[in-house]
Chain A
Amino acid sequence: MMNIYRKLLTIAAVIAASTVLFSGTVYGDDDDHKWGFGWFKQSKLDVAPVNNQVYREECGSCHFAFQPGLLPEKSWRKMMTGLEDHFGDNAELDAETQKSLLDYLVANSADKSNYKRSKRIMGSLRQGEVPLRISDTLYFKKKHDEIPLRYVVDNKDVGSYSKCEACHKRAEAGSYDDDEVDIPGVGRWED
């Protein structure tokens, strides 16, 4: 009899301890990582920055060069097979460039990334969901649901949720921290 109590007590202790240990990661707000200094803070970027010059040129000449870690591999594969109708625009590439960019996107896609936002985006996908727009993912929607349309879509200096860098001042570096948000004509955004 004594033995069972002891066992139950141990189980309860383990549950309590893990709740305390993991609550930070499970329930904590993403944006409260003000801790850390210097190089350590650097490694706390939200997504891996773009480090491919061809990608930067080919994709970034028309729009913000979205980090590969913002969408899963399946999304990039689908995107890269439909470049002749790329959201209504023609973005065709020669076969060689297309292959090298697809390889880059796949190798750095959200499923293969350890960066915080990549993991959160992956975690928010429904079974079988292959989003072509980052703004279609549940995680993105949740993070932007309090922002009025007039600040983004109807804001002449923004115009679309696809223009990350219009408000996220360090988006290009892979940083999407709340504290760096500056909405044109509106200013800082307090979550």
Chain B
Amino acid sequence: MMKMITTLIAGLILLFTQLASASQAVDAMLKVYSDAGAGPFSAEAGQRMWTEKHRHNKTPMERSCSSCHTSNLGDSGKHAKTQKVIKPMTPGVNAKRLTDTKKIEKWFMRNCKWTLGRECSAQEKGDFLLYIQK
């Protein structure tokens, strides 16, 4: 009986640790960015940058985050080239967003390079995360 209860509790703990929430992943990343010397972070700055238009040597046209994700985080977007639908960014509408730190870093890497022509700084990434999470 004791053994069964122990197993059950262990199982439940495992279950809850697996269900990572957006805030957990965001907190973990904000810690990484703070450790890199960035902060404090601002959702307003993230929002400002979201629609900022960029031009660089990889693109003939202006690019911004909203080119693909739209300026409303609750809306579905479209890949600028392939037109494939991109699900909403805000965790409030799409619970899967911001739950996986590896994915967060992967998409920052790809999309900052596409949009800005360079990687984003720790400060910028922190600002974006707060804005998206809001």
Contact = CB atoms under 8 A, between A and B. Distances in A.
Interface of A: 61-64, 84, 87-94, 159-160, 162-163
The residue among A61, A89, A160 with the most chain B CB atoms within 10 A of its own CB is: A89
The residue among A61, A91, A160 with the most chain B CB atoms within 10 A of its own CB is: A61
B113 A160 contact: no
Nearest to A60: B84
20 contacts: A61-B84, A62-B79, A62-B82, A62-B84, A63-B79, A63-B82, A63-B84, A64-B82, A88-B58, A88-B81, A89-B81, A90-B110, A90-B111, A90-B114, A91-B110, A92-B110, A92-B113, A94-B106, A159-B83, A160-B82
A160 B84 CA distance: 12
A109 to B, nearest CB: 22
A163 B82 contact: yes
Contacts of B84: 61-64
Nearest to B58: A88
Contacts of A61: 84
B64 to A, nearest CB: 15
B9 interface: no
B109 A163 contact: no
Contacts of A89: 81, 110, 114
B109 A92 contact: yes
Interface of B: 58, 79, 81-84, 102, 106, 109-111, 113-114
Contacts of B82: 62-64, 160, 162-163
Given A64-B82, A87-B81, 13 more contacts: A62-B79, A62-B82, A63-B79, A63-B84, A88-B58, A88-B81, A89-B81, A89-B114, A90-B110, A90-B111, A90-B113, A90-B114, A163-B83
Contacts of B109: 90, 92
A62 B83 CA distance: 8
Nearest to B68: A62
A159 B79 CA distance: 13
B79 to A, nearest CB: 6
A64 B109 CA distance: 22
Nearest to A86: B110
Nearest to A91: B110
Contacts of A62: 79, 82, 84
Contacts of A87: 81
A-B residue pairs, 9 tightest by C-beta: A90-B113, A63-B82, A90-B110, A90-B114, A62-B79, A92-B109, A92-B110, A63-B84, A62-B82
A92 B79 CA distance: 16
Given A62-B84, A63-B84, A93 B79 contact: no
A27 to B, nearest CB: 37
A160 B102 CA distance: 31
